[in-house]
Amino acid sequence: MRRAAAAATGLALVLAAAGCGGDDEPEPTAGGGRDTAAHPAEEPSRDTAPATAEKAPQPTETASPEKQPGGAGDEEPARSQAQFTGRAGRVSPSVVRVPPYIAVQVALRSADGGAYYLVIGGRKVGAGKSITLDGLRPGAAYSGRAGGGGDVRIEASAEPGP
């Protein structure tokens, strides 16, 4: 009786050790397939319940992005800056290069307190204000006129990036 119990215990230890540390992937043979002679058909496991039943966290239902603080669509789109400065009756620079396809925020500031304005892309911007123009195709440009004289131009010829 002791021998049978010892043999059963030994067999259980051998089977337990054989199951530890291995992967579930079949090892490829020289022929590229699974060697069925070396590995007899495996019997399906009778133990279908996991040893410790841990419940996976249930996904919480989140509200629509529109109902969350900030909502959806509140993100700022990418824009490049075209900064013009009015000083001594003139607006400079005369040409600003921006990356293609990215919206252009045109801003005008007055360095001497004068009243300056630009008409560019069919829109007017005054000193201390800004407007946003659509992005341009490569090589395209917005041409404009500064109040008091002088031409300005925004060209889509710069490389994007910092």
**Residues of the chain above pLDDT 70, percent:** 50
What is the band of 78 on the pLDDT scale with cuts at 50, 70, 90?
confident
Distance CA 49, CA 71 (A): 44
Cis peptide before 93 (omega within 30 of 0): yes
The answer to whether the beta carbons of residues 162 and 141 sit under 8 Å apart is no
Quickly list DSSP for 20-54: SS--SSPPB-TTSSB-TTTSPPPPPPS--S-SS-P
Global pTM value: 0.53
pLDDT at 155 over 70: yes
The DSSP H or E segment spanning 155 is strand 151-156
Span between the terminal Cα atoms of the chain, in Å: 82
User: Is a pLDDT exceeding 70 seen at residue 69?
Assistant: no
What structural domains and CATH numbers belong to the chain?
A: 79-156 (2.60.40.420)
- Residue 81: the pLDDT is 93
pLDDT class of 42 with cuts at 50, 70, 90: low
The rounded distance, in Å, linking the Cα atoms of 96 and 93 is: 7
Assign 8 to helix, strand or coil.
helix
Residue 111 has pLDDT above 70, yes or no: yes
Q: Give every strand in the sheet of 90-92, ordered side by side.
A: 90-92, 79-87, 103-110, 129-133
pLDDT in tens, 113-133: 889 999 999 999 999 999 999
Lowest average pLDDT, out of 37-41, 97-101, 141-145, 147-151, goes to: 37-41
Question: In this prediction, what percent of the chain has a pLDDT beyond 90?
Answer: 42
Q: H or E segment at 7?
A: helix 2-19
pLDDT tens for 17-30 read: 556 555 555 655 55
- pLDDT score at 152: 95
